[in-house]
Structures are given as structure tokens and as C-alpha cells.
Amino acid sequence: MSETTRDSLDRVIRTTLDEGELEYEHPEPGRFFVTLPGTRKLRTNCWLIVTEHALLVEAFVCRQPDESHEEFYRYVLRRNARLYGVHYTIDDTGDLYLVGRTGTHAVTEGELDRILGQVLEAADGDFNTLLEIGFATAIRREWGWRESRGESLGNLRAFSELVRREGALPPVSEGE
């Protein structure tokens, strides 16, 4: 890739991020570390990397699930069919990411905005469902621990139905 082409793509990316008022770092030519603000998942960190022939997109969604692995991975595989420009994948430890690749010739402000919007919609929109499937026991345990100590349940309120639906909370061990 010529330096002129990379500079041109960097300008398109910077313009898109600036117009979207997104927080980002640009540590070197062709590399952007973007923070997408959310409501369920408060922020999604996303790399945009320009290579010889493609723009790569990679965003961490959540760590590997503690439980219900089959249901968790079935959910994301089915979800892949409805995603645009990115798809769910896992790393060697089972942590969940959204990744995508688009040809450098197709990188426009509109297309990049659409892909980043899809990353945000998926990571933020699926986040609570993924937590409910893969981390239900941990959520119920945390709820019980906070409740027993009079701690705030503010950021767990989205899971009140999960706690109510499951009935009894698991016991809280000393030291937790």
C-alpha cells in the first residue's frame, strides 16, 4: 500500500471518528484505538487497523462464559447471521470478540460509520443477554452479596428478573 493511500484512509477514519464525536487514539499510521460509548456495556474498545488490502475491525465484547457454554455460543452463532460487516469470534481462551474485514477500496465515511454502528449495536445490545446466559450464577451471587451488605444494586438492576426468576440466591461464601 502506498503512503498516499494509507494517508487517505487515515483521513477518512479520522473524519468519521471526529464527526461521530468518538474518543480515539491514533498511535501510528493505519492504527486507531476507538472507544464506543454504550448504555448496557458502558464502553466498547475497538481497533481499526489498515493493512495492505483491508481495514480490520476488532472489538472485545466479554470474557469467556463461566457456564452454559453451549447456549452462549449458540446465541452468538445465530446472531452472526444478522450482523453487518462484523461477526462474533473467540480467541484461544474463549473470550468473545467482534471482528470484521473490509477491502480498503470500500472504506468510506458512510461505510465505516455503518460498521462502527454495528459493532456498538451488537456489543451493547447483546451484552446483558450474554451476561445472563454465561454468568447467571455470578450475577445472582453478586446480587446476594451486595444485598446482604446494603450495597448498591444500581448496575445490577437490569438483571433483577434473572434473580427473581431463579428464586433463591446461591450462598455467599465468606471472603467474597
Report the pLDDT averaged over residues 150-154.
84
Element (H, E) at 6: helix 3-19
More reliable by pLDDT, 161 or 75: 75
Q: Is the pLDDT of residue 12 over 60?
A: yes
Mean pLDDT of the chain: 91
Q: Does residue 51 contact residue 103 with C-beta atoms inside 8 Å?
A: no
For 4, 25, 139, the CA distances from 99, given in Å and listed in that order, are 26, 19, 27
Strand ranges, E, within 67-170: 87-90, 96-103
Q: Does residue 93 contact residue 162 with C-beta atoms inside 8 Å?
A: no
Backbone angles phi, psi at 12, to 5 degrees: -60, -45
Q: Does residue 162 contact residue 136 with C-beta atoms inside 8 Å?
A: yes
pTM more than 0.85 = yes
More reliable by pLDDT, 165 or 40: 40
List all residues 6 or more positions away from 114 whose beta carbon is below 8 Å from its beta carbon.
84, 85
- For residue 172, the number of C-alpha atoms closer than 13 Å in the C-beta half-sphere is 14
Cell matching residue 143: 446480587
Report the pLDDT averaged over residues 140-164.
85
Give pLDDT tens digits for 74-111: 999 999 999 999 999 999 999 999 999 999 999 999 99
What band does 41 get if pLDDT is binned at 50, 70 and 90? very high
